[in-house]
Amino acid sequence: MGNCLKSPSKRDNSMSLQANSEVTKVPNRSGQSIVPSSQSVRAQSEKKESGTLPSPRSEEDILSSPNLKPFTFNELKNATRNFCPDGLLGEGGFGYVYKGWIDEQTLGAVRPGSGMEVAVKMLKPGRLQGHQEWLSEVNHLGQLLHPNLVRLIGYCMEGENRLLVYEYMPEGSLENHLFERAAQPLCWAMRIKVAVDAARGLSFLHDSKPQVIFRDFKSANILLDSEFNAKLSDFGLAREGPTGDHTHVSTRIMGTLGYAAPEYYTTGKLTARCDVYSYGIVLLELLSGRPAMDKTKVGKEQNIVHWVKPYFSDQNNLLGLMDTKLEPKYPRRSAFVAAALAGQCINEAKNRPQMSEVLAILERLLPAAKYANSPGASSSHHSI
């Protein structure tokens, strides 16, 4: 079985749509649960659109989606000023992302600075895997609509050219906000808001029919709009979940080291709980301010799961993992619940909560999070 797990992408200051250490498990923790059990919580999120994804679908069916506009290559050349280097937002193994402008009503190309800003993703030509990922993106984002999924406006398939047109996300990726040295540290309220938004998007995918497994959930694939609403992007590796009596989907191993669930990394067996593991890693990044794979560390300490083990082994020291940039403005009890929840997400697969349960717990933290960053708020004595 081929192993295509990639290292986390190099961070830059773009609004990118992209995306040698082992992945390990956190041992089970004994004692009384410090967050509500899986059986005691229920999802409370409200979907604006129910998820339906007809399957199987031919390439012709996928490209005929009424939700998407087919663009010509010339239209996108005009929209991006002939793919002007000044408008390059980011690049990666897939290709390049350019800023463009289209008319909000007709979706035709307009002069720079007018109309609606968009991000135009151009795949490198001649890659079969690239076409498959491009088609997966069109299939999923062309059918599934949700406030916490980046909107796919249209596509271009002309000769060897494969392009996608998305809504523009001006605040870029969560990865950049957490780990760029020049970035302003995110406050507690913003981190919890992003965690909830991302959980809503992922929970929506898992509850869709058929189920959708994201397979490459990471902070680089969480984009932020002008109001810091978080949306999931880059569905190139997304797959439909198991159906009928099947417990998993067997796939070629894809994803990003540091975020991939250990059981998937070692067997290729994919379930929704693999996404839950990846979500737990991102939640740890939000809480600690430390990347999933920290190349400034040595050996196993590069992996956030190894680094965090001592904190989970002593619950009295659990808040020791918190980002020092947050001091002192965060509610301790809420932070304790969030950290414990992250630990549950990266537990053994059978002991992980479902995303709907993760979402229900995090939504309870929102009121205290908003209060924590208000003038005169105490960091220690209000409830979750």
List pLDDT tens digits, range 178-205.
999 878 999 999 999 999 999 999 999 9
Per the model's pLDDT, the better-predicted residue between 57 and 273 turns out to be 273
The whole-number pLDDT of residue 374 equals 57
The whole-number pLDDT of residue 352 equals 98
Q: Which residue is catalytic, options 216, 234, 275, 323?
A: 216
Q: Is 161 helix (H, G, I), strand (E, B) or coil?
A: strand
Q: Is 372 helix (H, G, I), strand (E, B) or coil?
A: helix
Q: What mean pLDDT do residues 230-253 have?
A: 82
Q: How many CB atoms lie within 10 A of CB 42?
A: 9
**pLDDT surpassing 50 at residue 11:** no
Domain boundary among 167, 201, 227: 167
Local confidence band at 47 (pLDDT 50, 70, 90 cut-offs):
very low
The pTM (predicted TM-score) of the whole model is 0.83
The whole-number pLDDT of residue 44 equals 36
**One domain for residues 357 and 242:** yes
Strands of the chain, DSSP E = 3-6, 69-70, 88-92, 95-102, 116-123, 152-158, 161-167, 212-213, 222-224, 230-232, 239-240, 249-250, 253-256, 269-270
HSE at residue 59, side-chain half, CA atoms within 13 A, is 6
Local confidence band at 89 (pLDDT 50, 70, 90 cut-offs):
very high
Q: List, for residues 289-307, the tens digit of each pLDDT value.
A: 999 999 988 888 899 999 9
Structure tokens at 8: 């986390």
Q: List, for residues 340-374, the tens digit of each pLDDT value.
A: 999 999 999 999 999 999 999 999 999 988 766 65
Q: Which residue has the tokens 């339906």?
A: 52
Distances (CA, A) of 233 to 41, 173, 181, 238: 28, 10, 23, 11
- State the total domains in the chain: 2
Q: Which residue has the tokens 């760029």?
A: 180
**One domain for residues 175 and 163:** no
Domain boundary among 133, 167, 201: 167
Structure tokens at 208: 């869709």
Domain boundary among 167, 192, 226: 167
**pLDDT surpassing 60 at residue 34:** no
Give the whole-angstrom CA distance, residue 349 versus residue 243: 19
Give the whole-angstrom CA distance, residue 331 versus residue 256: 32
**pLDDT surpassing 60 at residue 331:** yes
216 is catalytic: yes
Q: How many CB atoms lie within 10 A of CB 39?
A: 7
The whole-number pLDDT of residue 244 equals 66
Which residue ranges are tagged as binding site for ATP? Answer: 121
**One domain for residues 273 and 242:** yes
**One domain for residues 259 and 184:** yes
